[in-house]
Amino acid sequence: MVTKIILFIGALIISYTVLLPAQDKADLILYNGKIISVDPQDHIYKAVAVKGDKVLALGNDTDILPMAGSPCRLIDLKGKTVSPGLIDSHYHMMYYGAQFWPGYLNIRHPVVTCKADLLKVLGEYVKTINPGDWISGNQGFTLKQDETIDRWDLDAVTPNNPVYLRHSSGQYSAVNSKALGIAGIDSSTPNPPSSLIIHDSTGQPSGILSHYPAENLVGRYATGYGDRTDEQKFADTDIGQSLCFQAGYTSVQDVIVGSLKDIQLYKQYADSSKLKIRLYALLYLDTEKEVDSVLKNLKNYDSGRFKFAGWKLAMDGGLSGRTTLFYDKSMYAAEISYPYHTQDELNRIIKKLHNTGLQVAVHVGGDQGIDMTITAFEEAMRANPRPDARHRIEHGLFPTQTAVQRMKDANIILSTQPQWITWYGDGFRTATSDATMERLLPLKTMLDMGIHLAFGCDVPASPYQEPKWAFAGSVFRKTTTGTLLTQSERLTMPEALRVHTMGSAYAGFAETTTGSLEPGKFADLVIWSLDLYNLTPNQVTGLEAEMTIVGGEIVYDNGKNTIVTSVLSENNISPGSFKLMQNYPNPFNPATIIKYSIPSTSFVVLEVYNTLGQKVETLVNEIKPAGEYSIIFNGDNLSTGVYYYRIKAGEFYGIKKFVLIK
């Protein structure tokens, strides 16, 4: 078989029949594929045309290819699947980018998966640094279900260096005695608001700091946390944005921006034209006092790609930290749980934030915390009805049936992480109860009721960001050990994709401009390595984004899809007839150029034969727009002799002889 090199020489000179006004010509066309539109009828097309930053049209190849303008980038999908760009409803872009800063000790999964791993990594690292240097880990380590860690475990391997390590969930940190001393934390230090300084049986701080305010007591001193510069945060944002594009995200909602300063840094990043992703940001607030202070200095930012959109609160922690707010406190997941705000305080805070006219989102996982959050939303809406507030519960893992109905009645969005079903389902089972697990993320019930769902990966609290894990969790509901969880709550793949596109778009008030591929919407789309609508459980982990496009601009390309640029001929007239030109040079060794032209969009087959009539190579076998084409044929592995190349384009046939001499 011949080794073949097919290249388009320079820019293809292609002429098109004038079917549309110039302003309606496309500058990007993806064709010969499976275009999942996620429009109201879930249409599937063969091709999509883009002009500027908007979708121009969708249809069959024969409908779309003649829309090509000059110049126009053409991508032959060769049967691959395209979807709207995915929208992640719970992402921490700047902060996730920081996790790859080389100054952090890497303790993320799979580097650390248990206590032994953590102590080994620490012991090896401390040999490479000076006494007194901070050891700051990125977020974050994981432990086995029955494992604990404390300051004395850390002291044993790091006696001379302060240590600050965040658990993967972000809901607690582990520090050693040196770090506690630097922060001035002792047995008399009061708990910060909504947080706990965990103590041992003798009343001494154990080195576990539960929830953000307590964690920050030490974090403010730790290298890479309290001293992070603006320049570093811009670099973090660069990394975070690039990672989003690799995953296939074209919009993200950063629902826990830590300060007004970071909101301003996002705005500066957007104003510098570096922001390519669509970024929707919520500011995290810990206390009512902080709420009152921020509201006095409130400024709205909406610069197109970046929008400051509202507020984020927290009502409980996480299962691994034993701070999920359940009614049943006997479960491991709730052993030290407590509401981060009283009901009255939560009502007051949410009412104040609701009255700004912006969105409010609340981190909460347990049934009691969910009920308290819904109550506060209901109270705010009764006091000041807003027709389309779209307040959100983030995570919302274990709602009661009554809570689900209340969410429907109050139009509360659930923004959640079905990938946790896969990764953490086994741990959830041991940390809760059988009855509680029956209520884990009732996605199908909620969707059928008309509750708006949105999916987000929640990195760095999650080990991986790729949306394939959300699809796996919501469609298969199967844990890593093979346990099936509440199969009646499985979504279909079209439902899961719609939640991760239109559902997340709705959660960010963007459903009229993003989330589906329809004429007039932003041209945000992804080329996938596999057919989304036919993924099996064994295939789903192999799913990859091959190309990500935001507003018609290719922002990520792994090189597996060829981009051809077409340019209209000088006289702007398409070729008058089908032609197959004589190759040049002829004779040739080992390569030669073959040219042909077609006056209208046609299915073209161009093949090479030997004198016995045996086909030795197929050069073209696809639909081509009208135009003139050049191809390099390489006969490096052929023997000296006479060969023929033959074209069939529509009803046209042509054949030419060429000679290879070695």
Q: Are 204 and 190 a contacting pair, CB within 8 Å?
A: no
- Say if residue 134 is in the same domain as residue 278: no
377 backbone dihedrals φ, ψ, rounded to 5°: -65, -45
Q: What is the 3-state secondary structure (H, E, C) of 582-607?
A: CCECCCECCEEEEEEEECCCEEEEEE
DSSP state string for 143-166 = --TT----HHHHHHH-TTS-EEEE
Q: Are 643 and 610 a contacting pair, CB within 8 Å?
A: yes
Q: Mean of the pLDDT values across residues 356-371?
A: 98
- Say if residue 592 is in the same domain as residue 532: no
| pLDDT tens figures, 568-600 | 444 445 677 899 999 988 999 888 889 899 988
Q: Are 286 and 316 a contacting pair, CB within 8 Å?
A: no
pLDDT at 611: 92
- Say if residue 126 is in the same domain as residue 164: yes
Give the Cα-Cα-Cα angle 357, 361, 363 (nearest 5 degrees).
160
DSSP state string for 217-262 = HHHTTSTTTTT--HHHHHHHHHHHHHHHHHHTEEEEEEEEE--HHH
Residue 244 has pLDDT above 50, yes or no: yes
Tell me which amino acid residue 532 is.
L
Binned at pLDDT 50, 70 and 90, residue 22 comes out as very low
Q: Are 270 and 305 a contacting pair, CB within 8 Å?
A: yes
The greatest distance separating any two alpha carbons of the chain, rounded to the nearest whole angstrom, comes to: 95
Percent of the chain with pLDDT over 70: 95
Residue 272 domain flag: yes
Q: Are 496 and 475 a contacting pair, CB within 8 Å?
A: yes
| pLDDT tens figures, 376-394 | 999 999 999 999 999 999 9
Cα separations (Å) of 320 from 230, 386, 639?
A: 32, 37, 68
| pLDDT tens figures, 157-195 | 999 999 999 999 999 999 999 999 999 999 999 999 999
Q: Which of 255-269, 292-306, 380-394, 539-553 has the lowest mean pLDDT?
A: 292-306
pLDDT at 4: 32
Domain end position, chosen among 514, 529, 549: 514
- Say if residue 501 is in the same domain as residue 528: no
Q: Are 639 and 589 a contacting pair, CB within 8 Å?
A: no
- Say if residue 245 is in the same domain as residue 278: yes
Residue 560 domain flag: yes
CA distance 238 to 277: 11
Residue 137 domain flag: yes
Question: CB neighbours of 169 closer than 8 A, spacing ≥ 6?
Answer: 140, 317, 318, 320, 321, 461
- Say if residue 112 is in the same domain as residue 136: yes
Residue 412 has pLDDT above 60, yes or no: yes
- Say if residue 522 is in the same domain as residue 504: no
The candidate with the shortest Cα–Cα distance to 382, out of 345, 343, 412, 354, is 354
Q: Mean of the pLDDT values across residues 302-308?
A: 93
pLDDT at 575: 75
Q: Are 425 and 418 a contacting pair, CB within 8 Å?
A: no
Q: Mean of the pLDDT values across residues 502-517?
A: 98
Q: Residue 598's domain spans which residues?
A: 579-660
Radius of gyration, CA atoms only, the chain: 29
The tokens for 208 are: 């576990």
Residue 13 has pLDDT above 80, yes or no: no
Give the count of domains, the chain. 4
Q: Are 360 and 353 a contacting pair, CB within 8 Å?
A: yes
CA distance 494 to 472: 13
**21: domain CATH number?**
2.30.40.10
CA distance 408 to 385: 16
pLDDT at 585: 86
- Say if residue 246 is in the same domain as residue 106: no
Residue 93 domain flag: no
- Say if residue 267 is in the same domain as residue 362: yes
Cα separations (Å) of 291 from 287, 311, 338, 349?
A: 6, 10, 21, 7
Give the torsion sign (CA, 350, 353, 356, 357).
negative
- Run of H or E residues at 96: helix 93-98
Residue 97 domain flag: no
Residue 16 has pLDDT above 80, yes or no: no
Any bridge partners for residue 196, and if so which? 210
Q: Mean of the pLDDT values across residues 104-126?
A: 97
CA distance 417 to 526: 21
Q: Mean of the pLDDT values across residues 529-553?
A: 96
pLDDT at 298: 78
**118: domain CATH number?**
3.10.310.70
| pLDDT tens figures, 438-482 | 999 999 999 999 999 999 999 999 999 999 999 999 999 999 999
Give the Cα-Cα-Cα angle 554, 560, 562 (nearest 5 degrees).
70
- Say if residue 213 is in the same domain as residue 307: no
Residue 94 domain flag: no
Residue 1 domain flag: no
Residue 480 domain flag: yes
Alpha-helix residue ranges (DSSP H) falling in 272-366: 288-296, 343-354
What distance lies between CA 398 and its chain's CA centroid? 24
**457: domain CATH number?**
3.20.20.140
Q: Mean of the pLDDT values across residues 251-277?
A: 96
Q: Mean of the pLDDT values across residues 37-56?
A: 98
- Run of H or E residues at 325: none
Tally of CB atoms within 10 A around 540: 19
pLDDT at 23: 60
